[in-house]
Every structure is written in structure tokens, then in C-alpha cells.
Amino acid sequence: MFALPELPYPYESLAPTLSEATLRLHHDKHHAKYVETTNSIFKESEPGATLESVIRSAQRSGAGKLFNNAAQAWNHGFFWECMRPSPREPGGRLAQAIDRQFGSLIGLKMLFVQEAAAHFGSGWAWIVARGGDLSVVATHDAASPIGDESAIPLMTCDLWEHAYYLDHRNDRASYLDAWWNRLANWRLAETQYAAAQGEGAAWRYPDPK
């Protein structure tokens, strides 16, 4: 059985960008439901199965309901880690790669926010690394770069309305701007970027028990 990971910070600590009410609803109801549904479908856990392997095999076999719920469980687990109260800006080799590819952190922000704001309907905005190469992508519904073993996500922002409606109503652009400026966790992005180059491990969803 896959577990619902605890939020890595107190529920009220991302306010005012994301309120305690939003996090309680988003984590305790939406994320919990994806985990519960994944467990209800994936009853026979093979030895050594991980959520990542479940997602990839559901993607290969076209098991849509399992894929949607397992990928949403993973995406949310990763999303909580992509935020911190009062984060610092990226440094080191990631900062150099951002400057090289996007001109500056502001250049990357403009691209990310533009892609995310223009994305039609529900989904996720991502910064993904393939080796040292960075790209910005948006995926529909539950779709996740974790289905592709050559890609390592560095950052994601939830574009489903349940992520921001209580705090920002339908103003996705205001959510994205505040989220990027106040919550984006570059410390995680740095360790993911190192992992994309074979140094250290990328973030994984907690193993089933």
C-alpha cells in the first residue's frame, strides 16, 4: 500500500500565497483520494514495486485509471517538495545552466509562467532536465515526465483549479507569479539537477508498505 506522505511543512506556512484551507483540501482530500484509488486498483504489490514503476507500467499497458491516479499521487508528492516557506534562489551549476539557456532566472520565469498561464484546462507545469539540458513543459491532466526515464523533473506547479481557486479565484497568472516568487524550492531543483547528471539520487515517492 502506498501512503500519503505528510506535508513537509505546517499547513499554514505557505500563506498568503496558499492558505491553510487550500492545503488541507488539496493534501488531505485530493492527494489522499489519488493515493486511495491507486491502492484500490493496485492490490497485488509485486516485490520491489515503486510508484514510479507502477506509473511506467500503467503507461505502457494503457491502464488509464491506474495511470491517472498513480501519476497524480506522484505529482502531488513531488509538488509538496517543490515548495518551501521563504526559499532562496538557485545557486551553483543549476544557476549557471539557467543563465546559459534562458539568459537569467527572470527569463526562465517568463517562459514558465507563460507556458503555465496559457495551458488549457487542468495539468502541470514542469522544469525538466535531460542530462544538463533544461526545458519547460506543461502536461495535461495527470501526465507526468516521470513516465519517461530519461527525464528528471526539477520543479512542478499544479495547474488544476483546486490548487489555487480558494486563494486566487480564477486568476491563474496571479497564483503563478506569487508561487514562483515566494514558494519555489530551488534547493530541491539543485539536487534533481545533479541527479540528472548522475550525481546522487532523484526524489522518489516513499516505498509502499
**Contacting positions for Fe ion (CB under 5 A):** 158, 160, 163
Q: Which of residues 98 and 116 has its CB atom nearest to Fe ion in the complex?
A: 116
The answer to whether 209 and 1 have CB atoms below 8 angstroms apart is yes
Amino acid at 200: G
Q: Whole-number minimum distance, CB 41 to Fe ion, in Å?
A: 19
* Residue 77 or 147 with smaller CB distance to Fe ion: 77
Distance CA 141, CA 69 (A): 10
List the one residue out of 152, 147, 23 whose CA is nearest residue 76: 23
Closer of 39 and 75 to Fe ion (Cβ): 75
- Name the helix (H) or strand (E) containing 190: helix 186-196
Shortest spacing between CB 3 and Fe ion, in angstroms: 18
Q: How far is the CB of 137 from Fe ion (least distance, A)?
A: 17
82 close to 157: Cβ distance less than 8 angstroms: yes
161 versus 177: smaller Cβ distance to Fe ion = 161
- For the bound state, the minimum distance from the C-beta of residue 36 to Fe ion, rounded and expressed in Å, comes to 15
When CB distances to Fe ion are compared, the closest residue is 158
Place of cell 543549476: 94
